[in-house]
A and B are shown apart, each in its own frame.
Chain A
Amino acid sequence: MSSLELRSLNRAYGPQLVVEGFEQRIASGEFVSFLGPSGCGKTTTLRMVAGLDEPTAGEISIGKRVVSAPARGVFVPPEERRLGMVFQTYALWPHMTVGENVAYPLKLRGMGRSERDARASRMLELVHLGGLDLRHPHQLSGGQQQRVALARALVMEPEVLLLDEPLSNLDAQLREELRFEIKDLQRRLGVTVVFVTHDQSEAMAMSDRIVVMKQGRIRQAGPPREIYARPADLFVACFLGAANVLEGVVESSEAGRCRVRLQALPGAPVLACRGEPPAGRTADVVLRPEGLRPAPSGALAGRVERVTFLGDRVDCRVACGPAMLRVSLPASGAPSEGAAIALEATDALAFGR
């Protein structure tokens, strides 16, 4: 197993920088997700790690080995990087059987036929596909193909496993199932994993750390809980989990806490928030749907417009003056549509403009 280090990585296509100043150290055995909206440079970064794309500046090391360093003319081609990679399209070779697909990386390393077939079979068992060696990829379901791709990526015990949205082509249930399997395999094999996704729940469920990206830059990196609880900026706050965003004016601010007046709302309520935007300036206040709850003394007064039943919880839309707030409440004792309601805000976050 190896650590992975990306230092000041840049990638330009013509004048456009699609990855800029990417700096990240991934520890050996760590599971790290690159999370961000479409086009933010996740795939590009992953491909640079794999050697399928070249940085225009910066350095990449796998373990102690520098594999990309354009300034020094260093470039290790993908076949010499000893990585495993799972592609979004799976990229299973149709002219080989499942067993041959999985055994191919071993064949390239000169392993004899019987040994590599045995190892491929064992690997297939590990991903719950024992006995399907002789099938062809097109004879498998999407989930099974995904598992074959995983087995192929892991068969030569790579130092680092790269996954590019491996679950995005699967239906919701299968996705959930495979999340656990991938996580389980990673724990058992101890392999370092870089996982690319734009699904925040996937990233939060699986990762030791999440790297949130936007427009080629890292906005924040850290454990899922920390990022969720203490997002560095408005973008990160909104990208991880649902959020109500309200505009206000900072009244006072000190020691990481502040008070923000929401002028547009009825009664111009003042909320206590975490964050330290400068006093007197405009700020954005983020309220999580589950951070709002009904309380007689609640500062936010409104009317319940719509209640959506979601099983154990309900999702309410509450009109507070011009703003429409999303509120998540336990199903028992939920308000009815049209009722007046007062909400209390906990864990409000404020970000200066």
Chain B
Amino acid sequence: MIDKQDIQGFIKQGYGYLNYGRYLLVKIVDAAGFKQWLETHIDDISTAAQSDLKQTFNIAFTRSGLQRLSLPEDSLQSFAREWYENMVTPERSYRLGDTQHNAPENWQWGAPHQTTIDALLFGFFETSKGCKAWQQTIESFDFLEVIEVIEPRNLPQFKEHFGFRDGISQPTVKGMHKEKEKFNALATGEFILGHKNEYDEVAPCPVVNTNLDKHLQLKTNRQGDSLLGFNGSYLVFRQLEQDVHAFWDYVDQQSKDEYNKSHPQQRLLFASKMVGRWPNGKMIKPGATAQPSTGISNGPENQFTYENDTAGFGCPIGSHIRRSNPRATLDGQKKAKDAIKTANRHRILRRGRPYGEPIVSSMQADEILEKGNDDAQRGLLFLCLNADIARQFEFVQQTWLNNSKFRSLYTEVDPIAGIKPDAEHLLGNHFSIQGKPFRQRLRQVPSFITMKGGAYFFLPSIRALKFLSTLEDEA
């Protein structure tokens, strides 16, 4: 059993029922002051043992943050290389697709030419008042400087800005969550450090010299090091701006009929094929041309593994959800069980929320198109948790979403979240909708999202936070 009191609550849940929230990206200007504050407020940090909270508070650090708290270099180096280097290095930018219009030069935060981010303080609230008050408290501290305030916004029916229901498919963590779908139940160590993962191994966990752990807060390993990472996780944060009008405009153009007239039914079908689900979250059945209705007891579905749709006639092979989790139809595995096992070594626990006002409140395509482009900023605050950034988040982004050769495809990346090569690029960028008697291919799909900022954080356990707050300052 895992000690839920030692685990930050954000690993267990995204607190979607709390409508207001803030992500505060901060710089620690006075480490001693910060530690003192942290030490006295450890009990305010939301844990996985609590439920039905009306207000939450969680905290995560970058390398520079832990450096500022005087964590020695040898300990910092025992963390994952991705976290140590953080999201922006030239190689990583290529790997993640953070190039051209997504390049760090154009980010609003997190790029090397901007103020270094030490920590992420974030909370969710029942009321807007509570939320503002909390933000003001943090901003009033003189031991830190708030660099960026990011405000998430829940959209109606759990939708994201393109108008599709989000937050449906999610792995459940053994020992933490009740199992929902069998194929979605993952080993604890995939998301919480220091536990057995899907390889049935305990992966390397960040450590610190035991001598520094004066109050013996931390568990030790057989070599006698203190496990600083135990019960912690890595938190990936990427702010992805969405161009909602461009998305629907493109799909509208592609679905026009022979007389160049918009064809709303075909338009909705194409857009849904790109996502891989209907806007209401229902799966797309082979041959379906219109969205099935949902009742209350009959919401989105998630029991499918694509075994009944291997050819992609319902949910296309290259659609967003089939790329981001191929389930039982990952290439090369004959048995569904084996395919799922392989796919499950690359799962992430998504904790994203939208930001910005919806382009129109109905989020219906015809109204969006009528309204035109409004230049307002909106998008997805993509957050996810994982224990191995390279094998989980980066893998999904690079090998599944941004890979133009995903499975046996030729020239296409993820139509929703993929980073598209430039127009003159050899491979162009299409999207194949498998069908009878042969596919339909949407051509030259443009980019609908732009990267605006990002960083890798470490979300420590409660005990690790206590340790950090009592860590002696460097002389």
Are A and B co-members of a single complex? no
Instruction: List residues of chain A with CB under 8 Å of any chain B CB.
Output: none
Instruction: List residues of chain B with CB under 8 Å of any chain A CB.
Output: none
